[in-house]
Amino acid sequence: MALKAEQINEKTVWQDLTEGLQIHEAATSKLFETGEWRTNTPVWIQEKCKQCLLCVPYCPDSSIPVCENKREEFDYKHCKGCGICVKACPFHAIEMKEGK
C-alpha cells in the first residue's frame, strides 16, 4: 500500500513508504518546497525582459508564474536552479548566480 504525498506525516511508519521513496502520482511538486535543493539561482532582469513567455513552458518545475499574460518573479520555493530558463530566453533576461 503506497501512500499519497498528502498522507505522509511525522507519524508515518517506514513500512508504508514506497521503495526508494518514489512518488507514484502526478503533480505533487507543489506539496513539497524543493527549492532548498538549489545550488544556483536564476535571476530575472526585468529591464531586458520582453514578456515573450518563452521561458515558461521550458521550466520543468513550473517555477515561473504568469499573471495577466506577464511573467512574474521566480517561485524560489520550487525552483531547483537547473538553468533551462536561461537557455530558453532569447533576450538574455535571465542569468544564473551561484548559490541561493
CATH number of the domain bearing residue 93: 3.30.70.20
User: Any idea what the Cα angle at residue 59 is, between residues 48 and 97, rounded to 5°?
Assistant: 55
Whether 21 and 66 share a structural domain: no
Enclosing domain of residue 9: 1-25
Number of domains in the chain: 2
pLDDT per residue as tens digits for the range 29-79: 666 777 778 899 999 999 999 999 999 999 988 899 999 999 999 999 989
CA distance 100 to 88: 21
Contact by Cβ (8 Å): 64, 71 = yes
Whether 42 and 85 share a structural domain: yes
**pTM here?**
0.68
Q: What are all long-range contacts of 27-33, with beta carbons under 8 Å and residues at least 24 apart?
A: 29/61, 29/62, 29/78, 30/78, 31/5, 31/6, 32/5, 33/77, 33/78
Whether 19 and 38 share a structural domain: no
